[in-house]
């Protein structure tokens, strides 16, 4: 939709921010793509929404939004039952951040973005003021991210995808080699050459990647530790701190503080 001016004509030049809403009944995935002429803001998530860019892997909780600058390649996935908003902002508007980052979205911003999409549409001058207000109130916040390059070889890719699907799978490289038809030595070499890390390190980061997602969806530390493949919550907490520099509890506190800013 485009707003109508007093003469009934569409004022497309003024329509610089546009929001789409998604209500998903099944799993959805948008393969890696970019928007050269638009920034993208993912927000209002209910359920499990994740995004992967060169800046890291992000789980988008409902209390925050994710700012993706224009031209940034990104891949987005959402679990069944997830709903979220996707707001596109013209690239000629000053960017909130120059890299992918989480942002606190106060209730007033949510209300303004909703109002921009609702009839009767604002005329040019009030709309520009509303757009500038909404963007000025977005505040970047620090969240935990993790870099996890995927291997390219078919055999190592099968192992990687299986571990992302079930990070609690503790099969050894020898076991995986028998499963995919490669020697343990070859798999080990491929993981290092294609991801820059050993199989053990890659598996740990895969576990942390899924853990971030589950913590963002408000699962308990005990629940996440079991799903991520750790025998005890304390072992999971130690691994989480080593990889991300903070405990799962501190991760939750950062999100909680950001949510208060959004309230």
- Residue keyed to tokens 């005890």: 232
Helical (H) or strand (E) element with 108: helix 107-117
**pLDDT the model gives residue 144:** 64
Where are the chain's structural domains? 12-141, 154-262
Q: Which of 35, 30, 154 is nearest to 87 (CA)?
A: 35
**pLDDT the model gives residue 257:** 53
**pLDDT the model gives residue 263:** 53
Correct CATH for 12-141 of 2.40.110.10, 1.10.260.40, 3.40.50.1820, 2.60.120.810: 2.60.120.810
**pLDDT the model gives residue 230:** 97
State the number of CA atoms in the 13 A half-sphere of 163 facing the CB: 26
Burial of 256 (C-beta count, 10 Å sphere; 0-12/13-18/19+): exposed
The most distant pair of C-alpha atoms in the chain lies apart, rounded to whole Å, by: 72
> Helix 199-216 to helix 248-262 angle, to the nearest 10 degrees?
40
Burial of 186 (C-beta count, 10 Å sphere; 0-12/13-18/19+): middle
Architecture of domain 154-262: Orthogonal Bundle (1.10)
**pLDDT the model gives residue 50:** 87
Q: Specify whether the CB–CB gap between 32 and 73 falls below 8 A.
A: yes
**pLDDT the model gives residue 37:** 95
**pLDDT the model gives residue 215:** 84
Both structure tokens of 13: 């030049």
Distance in angstroms (rounded) separating the CA atoms of residues 232 and 248: 14
Q: What is the mean pLDDT of each run of 10 residues along the chain (263 residues)?
A: 43 75 91 95 89 84 90 91 94 89 93 93 91 92 77 93 94 96 96 95 94 83 96 95 85 57 52
Strand order across the 74-78 sheet: 28-33, 74-78, 49-53, 56-59
DSSP 119: S
Distance in angstroms (rounded) separating the CA atoms of residues 252 and 144: 10
State the number of CA atoms in the 13 A half-sphere of 242 facing the CB: 11
**pLDDT the model gives residue 256:** 52
């Amino acid at each position: 939709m485009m707003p109508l001016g007093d003469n009934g004509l569409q004022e497309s030049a003024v329509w610089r921010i546009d929001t789409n809403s998604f209500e998903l009944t099944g799993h959805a995935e948008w393969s890696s793509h970019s928007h050269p002429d638009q920034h993208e803001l993912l927000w209002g998530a209910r359920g499990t929404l994740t995004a992967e860019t060169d800046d890291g892997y992000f789980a988008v909780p409902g209390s925050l939004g994710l700012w993706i600058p224009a031209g940034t390649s990104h891949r987005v996935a959402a679990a069944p039952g997830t709903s979220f908003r996707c707001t596109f902002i013209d690239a000629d508007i000053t960017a909130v951040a120059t890299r992918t980052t989480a942002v606190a979205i106060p209730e007033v911003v949510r209300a303004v973005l909703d109002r921009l999409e609702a009839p009767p549409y604002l005329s040019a001058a009030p709309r520009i003021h509303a757009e500038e207000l909404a963007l000025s109130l977005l505040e970047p916040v620090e969240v935990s991210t993790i870099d996890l390059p995927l291997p390219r070889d078919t055999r190592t890719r099968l192992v990687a995808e299986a571990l992302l699907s079930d990070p609690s799978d503790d099969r050894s490289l020898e076991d995986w080699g028998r499963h995919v038809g490669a020697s343990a030595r070859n798999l080990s070499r491929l993981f290092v050459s294609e991801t820059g890390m050993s199989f053990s390190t890659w598996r740990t980061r895969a576990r942390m990647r899924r853990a971030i997602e589950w913590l963002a969806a408000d699962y308990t530390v005990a629940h996440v530790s079991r799903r991520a493949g750790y025998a005890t919550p304390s072992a999971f907490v130690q691994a989480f701190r080593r990889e991300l520099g903070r405990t799962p509890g501190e991760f939750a506190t950062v999100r909680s503080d950001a949510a208060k800013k959004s309230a």
